[in-house]
Structure 1
Amino acid sequence: MERPADEEQNAHTQPFAVHRYRHPRIGQKSFHGLCVEHANFQVSPMRWTERHLEILNCKFRFIADTHDTRLSEAETKMSEMVLLFDTSYTRTAKLCCEYLLELHSGNSPLSVVAMPLLFHFGKFTYTLYHCIALNILPCRSDNTRVVAGFSQYRIDEQRHTRFTTPSNRWGFFNSPVRRRYARKLLELTPNDWRNDPYILAVLLGLAQSRYEEDDQDGVYKTRLLVTNFDEDSRDAYVYKADIPKQLVESLHDPLRTIDDFEFPDIEYTNVSYQPFWTFSERVEKHFDVIPVAPRGVKRSFKNSDSSVAKVQK
């Protein structure tokens, strides 16, 4: 994936400019009105905080995974042997990524359609780095409004880079500015990374990626797989939100009313990486993909042992 760039190189962070050809009706709420009413209602997703979720009445809700992940006796023994050689973070991440790639391999019903993903807010466009949009084959989905995506959670690194002051050429820091940036970084860092408002922007970006080619009313069923090996090396998370088309239209036109729809809640579910050889199939179930005969073949311990040897080298 592409290397993150500085936020100012990505897009402007000023509130929306009012379109001169019309004005919102009196008494109607709009995204432009929220920017005027709340001075800290930032446009850039990197600067979104829990305050944004409160204003929009949007909540994150955790739902435990109900899919069966139990292992047979033989698989349990193999898993224990793999874990015996699993002595480094790098090895775990590489093995997980190996099975993540199966999500858009030749035999998978998923294919990449947008990388990196874009988020549109009025006339501004923001690049959502480390995020991609996936397309589900029509023959494997009974709902054409399902929009899938994959994201590596790296926004914390981007925030830290953006709000860290470099030293001058003599090695000194501007202490007041440094303290100000530290307070800002603390304000933007969520208590729980799984409830980061930035994930909401990614879900909205997925819905927007389908908006241009869709002329029907209704909702976009967005499904997003998020991984964060630094914070959780055991589970990935699938986020689900039913985004009304009116919400997408209001993002493109900030003067449009937002009274004709309700902001959706976001549900997320943990998906265990293990057993690795069934990970892609379990993720596809959360993506509402029609299941077929198992396409994946379980990795033999011999292959896993060779992978360990490569990592140790």
Structure 2
Amino acid sequence: MSITKHRRELLVNPLFWTASHLDTFGCSFQHVPTKAPRQSIVIQASATVNQKTNDTEVLSRSAVPSVKFNILSRFLRDDENVFNQHGKGPKFFFAGQPVHRPHFTIFFHCTSTGNINQDGPFLGYLDYLDVTAIRARKLAPSGIPTHSQNAIGARIFAKKLSGVTPQEWTEDPYFICVLLSIAQLQRRLSKNPPARSFSPRLIVVNRDDREFVYLYEARFTFEFLEMLDKPTSVMASTNGPIMYQRKIPFRPFESFPARVRAETLASATVDNVNTEKRAVKRPIQHEGDQGRNVKQKP
């Protein structure tokens, strides 16, 4: 992997990242099984359970983003010892500069003093409709709606959109940008001595998928994040992160709230990181501070 050689390629809007950008990061997707089996959580019937069951069914069927977010947010914050706050997701930084702000929500825990618990889990929430809609809007010809009858413009738009649309939406390269923005936030919050690695998580919903929500997790080393901050530094034998994907089924509806909370807390990287051979080293060469003042291409 060489960020240095392909630094300019990463200056494009992350919404337009493709499989080649994943190769630049040395990143890959890997499906792993869920931690909480569907029938492992015993739920006793009650009015509250019935309401949550109904809410889960609405969550699985609704195409309205606000409905999906509000229901899943209630489920995630049911135990305030884990997540008691949420807000706009942080910016993604490259070469020391903020170059993009992903459109997502981040869940975290604040202490009684109002400070963010840096050791607690950080979970992003992303509605895939936002990704596809914003991506299409940015590619649309200026001043011409995407549904325009302009045949030539429509063909150009369709070709551009096809070029940045992943074959499998569940492996959209944009997800790594969101996870990286969370990991960078964790790094900024990390006290001295800073943590050596960060494992942010991202839950993704898609109105076209009524069977599952998707949970992603990646382990980013301090050195990997340092390389993004200083892309002109040459890193030796640095392997990119693996993005672990878990599919959390909505059914059975009555146990979904407990299962989705359990999955967001269970780490996929703990069981896999020891089997991965990683050789991460500090920078061995510097080319000054060039690349710090970068600007994102339109």
Letter in structure 2 aligned against 1:33: K
Give the alignment of 1:108-127 within 5 angstroms: 109-112=82-85, 114-122=87-95, 123-127=97-101
| Aligned counterparts, 1:73-222, within 5 A | 89-90=61-62, 94=67, 97-105=70-78, 107=80, 109-112=82-85, 114-122=87-95, 123-129=97-103, 131-136=104-109, 144=119, 146-153=121-128, 154-165=130-141, 175-214=151-190, 215=192, 216-222=194-200
Gaps of 5+ in 1: 1-28, 291-313
Q: How many residues align?
A: 249
Q: 1:258 offset after TM fit, Å?
A: 3.5
- How many angstroms apart in 1 are the aligned matches of 2:233 and 2:242? 21
Rounded to whole Å, the distance in 2 between the matches of 1:217 and 1:100 is: 28
- Pair member with larger Rg: 1
Q: Give the partner amino acid of 2:122.
A: V
From 53, 63, 69, give the equivalent of 2:38: 69
Q: CA deviation at 1:238?
A: 0.9
Question: Offset of 1:167 from its aligned partner?
Answer: 6.0
Residues 242-266 of structure 1: CA distance to partner in whole angstroms, max 9, x if unpaired?
A: 1111121222222233335321111
Inter-partner Cα distance in structure 1 for 2:61 and 2:263: 27
Pairwise CA distance, 1:192: 1.1
Identity %: 20
Alignment check: 8 A CA contact 1:99 1:277 kept: no
Q: Letter of the aligned partner of 1:225 in structure 2?
A: I
> 1:257-276 maps to which residues of 2 (within 5 A)?
257-259=234-236, 261-276=238-253
1:284 alignment partner in structure 2: 261
- Partner residue, 1:18: none
Deviation of the 1:32 alpha carbon? 4.1
**1:145–1:219 Cα contact (<8 Å) kept:** no
- Corresponding residue of 1:35: 7
Aligned residue identity for 1:283: V
The 1:73/1:178 distance shift into structure 2, 3 A limit, reads closer
Higher deviation after alignment, 120-129 or 191-200: 120-129
- For the aligned residue pairs, the C-alpha RMSD in angstroms reads 3.8
Aligned 8 A contact 1:65 1:269 in 2: yes
Normalising by structure 1, we get a TM-score of 0.66
Shift of 1:125: 2.6
The structure-2 alpha-carbon separation of the partners of 1:201 and 1:163, relative to structure 1 and needing over 3 Å to count, comes to same
- Could you list the per-position Cα deviations for residues 193-240 of structure 1 after superposition, in whole angstroms to 9, with x for gaps in the alignment? 110000011110110111112142411011111111x22122111111
Deviations along 1:94-138, whole A, 9 cap, x unmatched?
Answer: 478424323125735213354133111122431111x12222478
Q: Could you tell me how far apart the structure 1 residues matched to 2:229 and 2:136 are?
A: 29
Q: What 5-or-longer segments of structure 2 have no aligned partner?
A: 113-117, 268-298
Alignment of 1:243-262 (within 5 A): 243-259=220-236, 261-262=238-239
Q: Which of 214-223 and 189-198 deviates more? A: 214-223
